Structures are given as C-alpha cells and as structure tokens.
Amino acid sequence: MSLKQPNSLIMNTGSAINRDMYYMSCSFVDRTFDEPYSRLFFYQDKNKDKWFYHDLPDLHVVSTCFPPPTSGATRKIYALSEEGYVECFSRDAISVEKIQDAGLDPSSKMYGYVNKIKHIDGQLYSCGHRGQIYRRNESTWEHFDDGILQKNKLIIANTDMSFMESVKLSIDETLDLFDIDGSTGDIYVVGTDGFVANHDGAQWHKLPRLTAADLHCIYISSSGIVWVVGSQGTIINGSARLGFKVLARKKIDADFYSATEFQNDIYIGANNGIYKLIDNTIKKVDITAKEVSSIESKDGVLWALSSEKLLRFDGVRWDEFVHIDN
C-alpha cells in the first residue's frame, strides 16, 4: 500500500472560472476533523506554474461560488466555511465576514453549520442546518428562512426518554438544507428526507415529498426544468408550478452530489464517478473518479472535481489534472 505524503490533499469543493481556470478548496489528509484548515487553489491551465494557493487556517470551507463577472468590475470568488465565515477573494483585496447567526460559535444562535453558498440574480444566498437560509443585502447577511428555520432547541429534555433517545429524535426531526438555487421570485431549497421548498417572491412553500432520500443538489436547465439529485441514485425533476416527478430511485447504487447540463445532456457527479442521463436512462461515464462533489459546464467544457483529481471534458476527450501535492 502506498503511503500518503504528509501534505497530501483532498479536493473538497470548487467552482469553474472559465474553460482554463478552476478554483477549489482542499483539506489535508493527515489533519483530524476537529482541526479545520482549508487551502484554496486556483488551477490555471494556461499558466506555466499551474497551481496557486492561499490558506484559511481554522476554517473548513464547504462551498465556493463564482458570480458571473460584469463588464469593468473586478472578478470575485467566494468561499463559505461551515461556521458561516465567508471569504471574498479578488486580485484587489481579500475580506472575510461572518453570517452572524450561523455555526456553533459562542456568538452565534447555535443553529448549526451551513452547507452552501450560491449567487442568484445579483445576490448571495446560503443555506444549512435546521433550515437556515440567509441572503446577503447591501450591508449584511439577513434571514431568508421564515417558515423554514427550526428555532427550537436541538435536544429537548423529556422525562420519558433517555438522553440518547432524545438525541436520536432530535437528529431524525432536524432539517438539513444542502442546496439553494433558482431565480428571484422562484428560489428552491432541498435537504434531508426529500425536503423541497420554493420561494415565490413572497413566502416559502413546502412542496410534497416524493422520496425519503436526502436531496443534495439543484440544477436549473436551459429549458427551465428544475433537476434535483440525491442519495441512493435519486433524480427528480419538474417545477413548483407544474409539480415534480421521480425519474430514478435506487436504480443505481450510488449517491448523487452534483448536476449540470453539457451539450444538451444532464451530467451527474456521484460518490463513485460521473453519470450521464440519456433519454431518462442513467449511464455511467467511462472514467474513474471518486466523490465527485462538483460538476459544472463553463465556456464549452465540463469541469468535474473529485476528491483525488480535477477533470475536464470538451465533448470528445477527458483531461485529468492530479493535484501538485499528491
């Protein structure tokens, strides 16, 4: 068995910048879970040195986001830690701010960790544990989760239950939101146990549950269809207006983490590789990859980030980029 180098990295999450550049957050293999530390890399295919990084000590980055650049403005990319710290990185400056109520810091409301950051129609959004949803206004992060947020205590004292029974009940009843996407007046969130909700511009509406699977990712196709993928090979699609239907459930022994559209086909990142949806039939792509957390179409190529390597597909050929530290 080969030995890992002391500084070997796991690629955790990332965002495509363009067809030649990718941004990712990595963690060290030999650090324990309670020692958060993130190293954020730009991979630049056209640059001789390829890999450039900066560190975020004490933060475990769980999501990144690259808003579409506007003419004349400096490009910015965002990284979200599980505790709700948000780094804004650009060539001009680096800043870090806190989503005040998020996380488990003593200064927070103890709602728990956040999981995702997204840019939707000019604004940043975040979602996470216990139904937390936040929106960034001009000056700060505000709650956007009325009717969704679980404000009750995590563990409620109950004389009829043991402590461990109370913990299990709390876990079973706690909503964890894994993704948020859409457009102003039509925003979706998904999470544990098949949870789907839609914000119509005025309020949140919880949609009928079609599955007990955890739902991990939302993708809005070019035709406006909402695709949702999740655990145990789950795929549902539709919309809040027309309703959703289950396309696949337990047909594939895999957990689906991410989805995108490339050359009119839906591609899905999974724990055991990459899948392609052809005429509503799931086909596994002939390429080796583990834990594909992020998959994204950008500027005519398909980017996919696995735990061990970065992949790029131009429609004909796959390029594989093994991390410089591995």
Per-residue pLDDT, 1: 28
Phi then psi for residue 133, to 5 deg, are -140, 130
Alpha-carbon distance 233 to 243, whole Å? 20
Per-residue pLDDT, 3: 36
Please name the helix (run of DSSP H) or strand (run of DSSP E) that holds residue 163, with its range, or none.
Answer: helix 163-173
Please name the helix (run of DSSP H) or strand (run of DSSP E) that holds residue 167, with its range, or none.
Answer: helix 163-173
Coil, strand or helix at 137: coil
Q: Which residues of 73-86 are buried (b: 16+ CB within 10 A; e: fewer)?
A: eeebbbbbbbbbbb
Question: How many CA atoms lie within 13 Å of 25's alpha carbon, on the beta-carbon side?
Answer: 25
Per-residue pLDDT, 171: 60
pLDDT tens for the chain, 326 residues long, are 233 445 789 999 999 999 999 999 999 988 766 689 999 999 999 999 999 999 999 999 999 999 998 888 899 999 999 999 999 999 999 999 999 999 998 889 999 999 999 999 999 999 999 999 999 999 999 999 999 999 975 545 555 655 455 445 556 689 999 999 999 999 999 999 999 999 999 999 999 999 999 999 999 999 999 999 999 999 999 999 999 999 999 889 999 999 999 999 999 999 999 999 998 899 999 999 999 999 999 999 999 999 999 999 999 999 999 988 87
**Alpha-carbon distance values, 171 to 159, 192, 257 (Å):** 18, 11, 21
Strand partners, 304: 295, 311
Give the residue among 73, 37, 41 at the shortest CA–CA distance from 56: 37
Q: Which residues contact 92 (CB under 8 A, 6 or more apart)?
A: 74
Alpha-carbon distance 288 to 219, whole Å? 23
The answer to whether the CB of 130 falls within 8 A of the CB of 112 is: yes
- Residue-range domains of the chain with CATH: 101-320 (2.120.10.80)
Q: Which residues contact 179 (CB under 8 A, 6 or more apart)?
A: 115, 116, 118, 127, 189, 190, 215, 216, 217, 218
Give the residue among 117, 141, 121, 145 at the shortest CA–CA distance from 131: 145
Per-residue pLDDT, 134: 99
E strands in 207-264: 215-220, 226-230, 234-239, 243-248, 256-262
